[in-house]
Amino acid sequence: MRANLETVKSYLLDLQDRLCDGLAAEDGGAGFREESWQREAGGGGRSRVMEHGRVFEKGGVNFSHVHGDRLPPSATAARPQLAGRGFHAVGVSWVLHPENPHVPTSHGNVRFFIAEKEGETPVWWFGGGFDLTPYYPVHEDVVHWHRVARDACAPFGAEVYPRFKAWCDEYFYLKHREETRGVGGLFFDDFNEWPFDDCFAFQRAVGDAFLDAYLPIVRRRRDTPWSERERDFQLYRRGRYVEFNLVWDRGTLFGLQSGGRTESILMSMPPLARWEYGWTPEPGSPEAKLYEDYLRPRDWLSEKTGGGVSS
């Protein structure tokens, strides 16, 4: 199992490199700065952050490999039988916050866990996915996003995309707001129901699909003119992003509970956000359209939602 860990780790380090190369080329600015860090209880990571770019106001692509004698509570909440086991957790996570309100925010991660106990067979599992958070969504962009997600899943069975698409809708849901964070994508966790090689191949398919899903949207929207009104709305909706990450996100909680590097864990936060008491969008406005048509689960690839036609 340790050999498998090293194989996954090698892939993840390469994925971090490829994501940073693709995103930096699209941004065209100064690129990412890198910091390596060590965790006192075991392990460390390689954090890469971009700020004040030509497209991305803030972006981060982080690699970490942490290990210890006891899994944090967030990792055993769904599997209490693993409490007290030692662990290795290795993963790459990324978040992009563009400056232009017409370019969506996006997040993704892929990760691998091993839980160990002397005298017992190690337990392993994969997790990950990616999701899209637009402020002024365009239907064709959302369809493209989900089409790439579906195609990444297709070699593993026709049921995989609908299953993990639905899981994403359920996971990235702000219960206290009764709305989804965005338009979803893919999400899976505690995943080990296939042989290791098949699970690892699926993780690679998800990680490798991200740039194909996201960069065409960035290119289509990066030069769209925007106003102060649209910027204000983007900052308001970024507040929802902060609320989800601090209240509901298991990855943030795991990082903090495991004693990870706080700056790296919270790199997902936008550089600017705002809250306004009791705000509601003007009826019939583009802002209202986000709430009415996009912040709920939908079957984006069905004929009922218009296929690839922009709305």
Residues marked active site are found at 107
Count Cβ atoms within 10 A of the Cβ of residue 135 and give its class: 0-12 exposed, 13-18 middle, 19 or more buried: buried
Residue among 287, 305, 178, 309 at smallest CA distance from 234 = 287
Q: Which two tokens stand for residue 65?
A: 């490999």
Angle between helices 196-221 and 139-153 (to 10 degrees): 160
Q: Which two tokens stand for residue 74?
A: 């967030």
Rounded Cα distance between 268 and 257, Å, is 17
Q: Which residues participate in the annotated binding site? A: 93, 97, 107, 109-111, 146, 176, 259-261
The continuous run of DSSP H or E covering 64 comes out as: strand 56-68
Could you count the other beta carbons within 10 Å of the beta carbon of residue 54?
Answer: 13
Rounded Cα distance between 27 and 59, Å, is 10
Q: What does the DSSP assignment read for 206-226?
A: HHHHHHHHHHHHHHHHTT---
Q: Which residues participate in the annotated binding site for substrate? A: 93, 109-111, 259-261
Could you count the other beta carbons within 10 Å of the beta carbon of residue 136?
Answer: 21
Rounded Cα distance between 42 and 151, Å, is 38
Count Cβ atoms within 10 A of the Cβ of residue 223 and give its class: 0-12 exposed, 13-18 middle, 19 or more buried: exposed
Q: Which two tokens stand for residue 165?
A: 């698409």
